[in-house]
A and B are shown apart, each in its own frame.
Chain A
């Protein structure tokens, strides 16, 4: 039998020293931003029932989830997303809690990616959910939290706005079957201009058709919003655009300038987003590092309707970018190694904890002889060695 005890499964890896530190640093910077703004941290189980993530609700294809069965033969999945478990939690254990509820999480999510493409199946994700609040104030609060979170890590991020309602309003007007509508949506999502054109050429050239034809190209600066507003005749679609414009203007007032982009072609499949959506991009990462939006209908699935908005950040991707740029702390060397002579072990342990109490980074030597301890200190770049005996002496290791 082949032995797999020395390798990690595909799409996973050990995080060592700098990489681990970078990851934790990003998590802790973001956690601080969230908790300072009144969000409270929660952890959800690593495994859940498959029913929670049914594709109609989650938009996650069945084949992308890690599955297993419990002792009663029920289908379980390894957490592929954090928003749905939080929705479950809010509508059950927190059902009597006063709204709005402000939560944040920092945990791993697991999804199968097609093999051998260099993508991780295990991603550290952190994010917030603001539940039981609708309207512009809640939207602004969430988006500005996203902006602040990213700016604490990478100054040159971009934030992109869209509105899920816009495409839905237009798509409703297309005289096509559901499967054709789904095909059109896929073509917009992949910005496949040529195939979308030939698909739409078959239809009567109404205003909605022309608008959808432009949709994949409606991304960029605020000018695309103006273009869409001038072109749009559908009442509902127009209102959704004007709302994006309002949020855009408010973000300008915060001083985000050309950091804000627009993409009206953000049309993910089956996703639970119902209104404003936003993503964050950073140079050096081939995929968005932040994805979020309003999901007012999601909690209906748990029979406790409530308006909600949130976002998730890919901590690994952000840590990776920061590491490439050298913006994360290095592995810290101890300031001092404390070594004891025979019979003075307890004295040395007490001495070390006093040092640590004073904020010094120190290591307690586990070597039998002073010579070994010195050699270790030199090799690891520890500048000082404190020898604890009858007296306490500090030796310069000469590194």
Chain B
């Protein structure tokens, strides 16, 4: 009798605990995708820095989910989706409003023209797959593409990343090289009109 009286509450408690654990796991999975199994200390350090640094905020496209905006981790760190062709950026009236952004957080328009967040996955054709560690460090330290090319455009906060130690930047690169490669050819930046000469 006692056993039967306790069975239902026990089952309820068990189910409640199990549901809670499942929901939490789901939430955490949504916040941090799977694939974080055993890895080298450097890659783990890089993963920590990438999450802390908020790289996903702009390099992983956002979408509208059932609970509002959420990141589309099927496109993790792959930058602006190539299949999302942006219309011309809206013209802003004179005043303090200085830039506009796509809902994906991957396209940004301002006085510099239009910038698109880069594909940071190790895809050889469209991402960082053919980059060297030196190129990546130089990019972060100088604010120039591969350390020698065009200037990185807003809102890329390279001047924050460059404050990391070289070892930490290497860790970031190692992590980026470890994630799944996603073939996504991000559009080239759109400059202001060709200057008349």
A, B in one complex: no
Spell out A's residues near B (CB within 8 Å).
Answer: none
